[in-house]
Structure 1
Amino acid sequence: MAKLGLAVGTSARFSCFFSNKSDAGSGRATRLGWILFPANPRCSSLATRWTAAAAAAVEAPPRSVDMGCAPVPREQVEIVQSLNGWVAENMLPLLNPVESSWQPHDFLPCSVAAPGASEEEALSAFTEGVAALRMGAAGVPDEILVCLVGNMVTEEALPSYQSMGNRTEGTADDTGASSLPWAQWIRGWTAEENRHGDLLNRYLYLSGRVDMRQVETTVHHLLRNGMEMLVPKSPYHSVIYGAFQERATFVSHVHTARLAGQHGDQALAKICGVIAADEKRHEAGYTRVCAKLFEVDPDGMVRALAHVMRGKVTMPGLLMSDGRDADGSLFERFSAVAQRAGVYTARDYGDLVEHFVRRWRVAELAGLSGEGRRAQEYVCGLPPKIRRMEELAHQRAARSELRPARFSWIFDRHVMVG
């Protein structure tokens, strides 16, 4: 799933935990850090109930931790610019050469004739390939299709994410063809990510399982609506967001691949697996540069991490709409389905936070300012709080009543959410 910064979703492209509520009474979603769960009473899922308890238990740190939306500190810009050589040595090698990279064509029925084959033979082979793909897709449950469409839609909004990357001070591709390593990373990342939406889009079209016009309408809306990111120019926030979003997307595609295989769709399992491998490489890039920045500027990075964990950055697919969701609940319903289907869950979010706190050795940071120490304490205290809230959520879910949620993507059929 596309990122830029999840994950999320997305993934991706996906839902989020902890933070502030936006536009009370306006129908907008409750934003909760990296996993956004439904605020709509009609989608009162496990996650919905979880959020109220989580918001109370994971109290936001003092305002002094919050970097706010003030201009990006000049020293941050200078630091990331000084890492261009480091990026060339440690991030650019993670991008695969075009010549050896997979392409969507490699995983779908071939529509052209092989050398020496007639048009009739080519059409027959293509028809057989499509029939085999549709046979595998026939066994995929609606809830998995909803998750797949939501992820694909988020991937297809890639132009918004590259635009956001090119607004980030210190790492932007100022000319559109800059030779600086940061700019090469953004373009190379975009080029690899672009294949994800193409592949998922073509699979869904050939599968015959979804209303492609409604899916395409949703992509259209999301690109028009854009991506809401409150601190879009901060390089520290951007790379932290990228690391979380890439890992969230990796997890989501891995789970989707597993579920597809369980339901007999080996083609989809392979597709999601190869996309997940890309996300893993991209995660490595963002994780590495974050680790480097924690070495160079631990105080600035831990404060930025606390800011991100408070949910000041929203998910890339948050503003998706199919044109029929007058209450703006499409992303909420998609997130609730992902939670119940096991594609991306509260447990996954907790694992993400725990992973990065450990990977970046946040608890071991020394020499911090007062604000930095408060941010460190807040971030290191999140994983156990998330675990406790997850346990409470599951206990309550056991007593919950399932409710239907309608999706135009699957011809207005309903899937059940908790």
Structure 2
Amino acid sequence: MINAIYIKRKKGEVSSRVNLPGSKSITNRAFIINALSGGRINIINPSDAEDSIVLKNLLDEQGPTFDVGHAGTVMRFLAALFSIIQGERILTGSERMKQRPVKELIRVLSSIGADIQFLGKKGFPPLKIKGKKLSGGKVDINSTISSQYVSAMLMIAPYLENGLVISLKGRVISAPYIEMTLDLMKKCGAKIHEKDTLITVASGEYTPADIIVEKDWSAASYWYELVAISYEAEITLSGLSKQTIQGDSVLDEIFKNFGVRSKEIAGNTVLIKLPQPILNRFDYDFTNCPDLAQAVAVTMAAKGIKGILSGITSLRIKETDRISALSTELEKLGVATLCGADYIEILGDKINKQDVTIETYQDHRMAMAFAPLAEVLGEIRIKNPGVVKKSYPGFWIELENAGFEITV
């Protein structure tokens, strides 16, 4: 395993045709729906992200122990799935996974009769799950923690004896991901009614359907960032369409503030850099798109823009505490920050230090968010570059193709 890489900017305009991965969010939901349907869903262009491969492999295993590694989505989705499939299973993961809470999801599953025990610290993996037929009914879910809890419950709902009525309590975070789940379920025949904060799913089954996995808008954020901090750039994102069920497509509007303009040509999105005055300040609520916050924060730091990025509570319980990690690494670069429970404030100091090594904290988005800074610094060192395989295995190859030299 490579411990660190050096990324060096070559001369000339940043220009490339970039191959993005398929959306792992769509892929992972498609895999769960397909498993419940008995293999009747045709999944086209699934993601090659490590998380998706882990889920696919675990769905093919017999157990009794299932190790998700660092894949939080897989942990949550399988906890719900295994609760309704006959048999006893142990669901575990990495040491970091054992620090990521699942208490609310297990509480909700238990309220409809699921038999789940915590084998370590209460509220956290590993889990012992005795799967059985569940009746369903009405449940309340605290929707301020993770939308994945809601999605996990929604996807198993057609296979509950009485279906499921979900009442969302509190401010819903990452709401577009819940909408994505509902969209895919409907495509596969689920009967769903939505009213205010209530979602009703009728008992039934998924029916044969094709799910075409879109290119990943979350992965596109690092290319928008690169264009934003470049003097001159043109990047074509192959196959990325603005006709999408992914909420992270809002990054197209966000990055207009940083001089990035896009146009869709023949099913591809082309990014160009326009000269414009640099903003003094940019504030944004990322409640619906927290995975974009790292790319935006680093963009602001590179351009010396002040601002508060809020609505990012969920970043505290990701692969690492992303708020703390962002603050630590930006401070290394000479950028002062202030952090709270659900925000990071960039105080406006432009990056002013070189020869910096960026820690990635086993977090793919930390590696990809800081890598484009080679455009500004000339060179940057990234530790544990292999973490990108979690969502974007081809990222380093694509960065080389865009005009960067990568050495060990």
TM-score by length of 1: 0.25
Greater length-normalized contact order (CA 8 Å, ≥ 6 residues apart): 1
Whose helix proportion is higher, 1 or 2?
1
TM-score by length of 2: 0.25
Whose strand proportion is higher, 1 or 2?
2
